[in-house]
Structure 1
């Protein structure tokens, strides 16, 4: 799957399987047909040219760490316990990665 985000100036590719820490993969781009209207281009219709295979590796290899001190330490609010983590921007929120209640 290919997703283009014009605001962020990114093209996101969804891989068929995850690349894990320590693994690498390559990405290459071949301009399908110069002169057609498909392919990566900017708002002025300047097209990205082809590029050869470039190695990409997993850069985030650190697990989240529970914050145990300060204002973000675990806290209870009525029947809710809130846990905060360093590197929380990278927590995977997909339902398939939700821990089971018995994990706690």
Structure 2
């Protein structure tokens, strides 16, 4: 979001955004660039798509699904705290799921 605001403020083109973004990436994010062809490295949308594919919501959805599915009440944890934690996990999980899959996804996450 911050990057998008700076790019808009500076009136950067798609290619300029790509150039600045690729120069800022480090470690595993920079490694994603190795899988892109040279023309894609000048395309901001292709770069951000590759980054989202690797680090985006798909991974987060699976992680939150697993946490919600495996969450049990801890020893000495009161019911109110447990309910709050489950509700919080459910909200986080549902925020990453497409609208058409929300009901099914929540039911699957809560079933054991």
TM-score w.r.t. length of structure 2: 0.30
Per chain length, whose mean CA-contact separation is higher, i.e. which structure has more relative contact order (CA < 8 Å, sep 6+)?
2
TM-score normalised by the chain length of structure 1: 0.32
Which structure has the bigger radius of gyration? 1
Higher helix fraction: Structure 1 or Structure 2? 2
Structure that is richer in strand per residue: 1
